[in-house]
């Protein structure tokens, strides 16, 4: 990791008050991202990937509460920043694309206008030039015939096209960090490849850092520099992509890899992960993977959860790593 990361999340804990008690959705989550770097956050549903993103952007729903930690971006702690400061950062420095582009876009406003709105709010651009800039952006995300699409409503565009519009909207002000939450879930494989290519291209040419949130290890394998694996609100392992795939050290990462289909594999090679993400209401064990883990032993019940640096940039939160 470089000396001054673009953003560093430290010791982040978040809990939700629910009718059934307090859910400790995140517990001491930490990771950092350097300028221009692409980091993948991977885990099953309920692992806290999206909560992490929403917390960092100050979009946590009212039931959620940050109980500890910092998220430092350009010298500013996003978690204690005022609403006004966040408004200035979001959309300009920090941007996000959401899982279902069709629902994230305004259904009753032409897509070109929606991008122009972002420029009006954040970019110092005379009104007359805004439209040209929008057309430039639409062309940049490889939307054919931008002039015509400018006036299109989201329902007139395919899912892949809507996601391209969403990306144009997110990168309109050349943010330093883009958070993509399951950007290709629900899209065709060919469309998915195109969207991922586009994101990779944007981050390379503009030096934009990207956090890619997904449940599919295959999506991040080829595209990310580093990977953060989450399980039940914990970061269980983080490592450079190649290292993680070549030699996973946390039992959960190894299991996740074994359950991902790869080309040429047989059904017998595909092994499910036993058990389910544990209930996070009330007290939890130090290691939240313990009940699903085949390597669990008495040492796993001893708090606190260890965080061992096994190689440069490779951290494992396990008492008995592989």
Which residues of the chain form contacts with other proteins (CB under 8 A)? 44-45, 144, 158-159, 186, 188-194, 196-197, 215-219, 221-222, 241-242, 245-246, 255-257, 259-267, 270-273, 276
Judged by beta carbon, residue 8 or residue 185, the one nearer other proteins is 185
Given a contact cutoff of 8 angstroms between Cβ atoms, the answer to whether 99 and 121 are in contact is no
Shortest distance, CB of residue 121 to other proteins, whole angstroms?
A: 32
Shortest distance, CB of residue 134 to other proteins, whole angstroms?
A: 21
Judged by beta carbon, residue 166 or residue 227, the one nearer other proteins is 227
Round to whole Å and give the CA distance between 159 and 168: 14
Round to whole Å and give the CA distance between 171 and 141: 10
Shortest distance, CB of residue 239 to other proteins, whole angstroms?
A: 11
**C-beta contacts of 195-200 below 8 A and 24+ residues apart:** 195/160, 195/163, 195/164, 195/167, 196/223, 198/141, 198/142, 198/164, 198/167, 199/167, 199/223, 200/38
Residue 34, SS3 per DSSP: coil
Shortest distance, CB of residue 279 to other proteins, whole angstroms?
A: 12
> CA 43 → CA 30, 76, 212, 245, distances in Å?
15, 28, 12, 14
Given a contact cutoff of 8 angstroms between Cβ atoms, the answer to whether 216 and 224 are in contact is no
Shortest distance, CB of residue 105 to other proteins, whole angstroms?
A: 18
Judged by beta carbon, residue 93 or residue 182, the one nearer other proteins is 182
Judged by beta carbon, residue 56 or residue 277, the one nearer other proteins is 277
Shortest distance, CB of residue 191 to other proteins, whole angstroms?
A: 7
Judged by beta carbon, residue 94 or residue 219, the one nearer other proteins is 219
Judged by beta carbon, residue 74 or residue 313, the one nearer other proteins is 313
Judged by beta carbon, residue 197 or residue 308, the one nearer other proteins is 197
Shortest distance, CB of residue 314 to other proteins, whole angstroms?
A: 14
Residue 178, SS3 per DSSP: strand
If phi > 0 it is left, if psi is from -120 to 50 it is alpha, else beta; for residue 11 that is left
Shortest distance, CB of residue 169 to other proteins, whole angstroms?
A: 21
10 Å Cβ neighbour count for 91?
Answer: 21
Judged by beta carbon, residue 191 or residue 285, the one nearer other proteins is 191
58: Cβ–Cβ under 8 A, 6 or more apart, which residues? 78, 79, 81, 83, 86, 90
Shortest distance, CB of residue 131 to other proteins, whole angstroms?
A: 24
The label of the residue with tokens 């090679």 reads: 269
The label of the residue with tokens 């609100």 reads: 233
Judged by beta carbon, residue 48 or residue 194, the one nearer other proteins is 194
Round to whole Å and give the CA distance between 208 and 31: 17
In sequence order, what are the beta bridge partners of 29? 12
């Amino acid at each position: 990791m470089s000396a001054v990361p673009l953003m560093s999340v430290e010791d982040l804990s978040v809990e939700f008050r629910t009718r059934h008690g307090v859910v400790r959705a995140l517990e001491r989550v930490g990771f950092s991202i350097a300028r221009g770097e692409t980091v993948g956050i991977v885990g099953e549903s309920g692992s806290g990937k999206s909560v992490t993103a929403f917390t960092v952007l100050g979009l946590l729903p009212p039931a959620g509460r940050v109980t500890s930690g910092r998220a430092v971006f350009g010298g500013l702690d996003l978690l204690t920043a005022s609403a006004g400061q966040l408004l200035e950062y979001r959309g300009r420095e920090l941007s996000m694309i959401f899982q279902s582009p069709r629902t994230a876009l305004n259904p009753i406003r032409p897509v070109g206008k929606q991008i122009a709105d972002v420029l009006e709010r954040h970019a110092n651009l005379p009104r007359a030039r805004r439209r040209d800039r929008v057309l430039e952006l639409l062309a940049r995300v490889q939307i054919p015939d931008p002039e015509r699409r400018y006036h299109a409503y989201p329902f007139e565009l395919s899912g892949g096209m809507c996601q391209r519009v969403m990306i144009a909207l997110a990168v309109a002000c050349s943010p330093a960090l883009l958070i993509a939450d399951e950007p290709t879930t629900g899209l065709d494989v060919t469309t998915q490849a195109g969207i991922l290519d586009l994101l990779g291209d944007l981050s390379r040419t503009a030096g934009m850092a990207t956090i890619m949130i997904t449940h599919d290890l295959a999506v991040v394998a080829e595209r990310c520099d580093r990977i953060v694996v989450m399980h039940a609100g914990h970061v269980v392992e983080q490592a450079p992509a190649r290292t993680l795939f070549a030699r996973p050290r946390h039992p959960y990462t190894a299991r996740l890899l074994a359950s991902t289909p790869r080309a040429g594999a047989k059904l017998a090679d595909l092994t499910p992960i036993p058990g389910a993400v544990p209930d996070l209401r009330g007290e939890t064990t130090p290691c939240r993977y313990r009940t699903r883990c085949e390597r669990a032993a008495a040492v796993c019940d001893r708090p606190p959860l260890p965080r061992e640096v096994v190689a440069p940039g490779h951290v494992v939160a396990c008492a008995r790593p592989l």
